[in-house]
Amino acid sequence: MAAEEEMTEKPASMLDTNTPPQHSHPDNSVQGSGLPLIRLKTSLKLVPALGCSSSSRQKHTLPDLPYDFGALQPHISAEIMQLHHSKHHATYVNNLNIAEEKYSEALAKGDVTAQIALQPALKFNGGGHVNHSIFWTNLSPNGGGEPQSILYL
């Protein structure tokens, strides 16, 4: 068997083939279902993940705030907003770009182990970037007001 191929088993009902099945399960079925198993050769060539297909991909950037750092005072100080945006959120963006660059390199080399190892960094930093981008738009210096009904604590 070639290095780029592996054998997988699929229920015959999922296949469109005219070749006779090659049974391998002890009772020649999928866990007693009566469906015969067929061995198929499949390629390990992976499809690039979204956003990681080539070097033409643009890097993620830190979005501008739709208001000034001090616009939410006295509830949130300008210093906290600047730290949260310019340092904390920026770290997610920078680490996401680094992880995607490493993923692109692993993809080009066909290094599946590295691609799998990078998935937690992609999810964590990608999620942090997206969540913070939404967070900034949920805050508003013109929002809020007094509650319109009783608040239960």
Given a contact cutoff of 8 angstroms between Cβ atoms, the answer to whether 133 and 84 are in contact is no
- Residue 97: inside a domain: yes
Helices (H) and strands (E) in the chain, counts: 3, 2
> Would residue 152 count as lying in a domain?
no
Residue 34 placed within a domain: no
> How many domains does one find in the chain?
1
Q: Could you tell me if residue 2 is inside a domain? A: no
Q: What one-letter code names the amino acid at 123?
A: K
> What CATH code is carried by the domain that includes residue 105?
1.10.287.990
Q: What mean pLDDT, rounded, does the chain reach?
A: 77
Residue 31's pLDDT band, with cuts at 50, 70 and 90, is low
Residue 51 binned pLDDT confidence (cut-offs 50, 70, 90): very low
Cβ(100)–Cβ(122) under 8 Å? yes
Could you read off the pLDDT of 66-91 as tens digits, one per residue? 999 999 999 999 999 999 999 999 99
- The angle subtended at Cα 57 by Cα 55 and Cα 59, nearest 5°, is 110
Burial per residue of 120-129, b for 16 or more beta-carbon CB atoms within 10 angstroms, e otherwise: ebbeebbebb
* Residue 85, in any domain of the structure: yes
The whole-number pLDDT of residue 91 equals 98
Assess if residue 24 is contained within a domain: no
Digit-coded pLDDT (tens) for 109-135: 999 999 999 999 999 999 999 999 999
In a domain? residue 122? yes
Residue 89 lies in a domain: yes
Least confident of 31-40, 82-91, 103-112: 31-40
Q: How far apart are CA 28 and CA 57, in angstroms?
A: 48
Range of the domain at 124: 78-138
Q: What is the pLDDT of residue 142?
A: 87
Which band of pLDDT confidence, cut at 50, 70 and 90, is reported for residue 8? very low
User: Looking at per-residue confidence, does 148 or 125 come out higher?
Assistant: 125
Rounded to a whole number of angstroms, the CA Rg of the chain reads 26
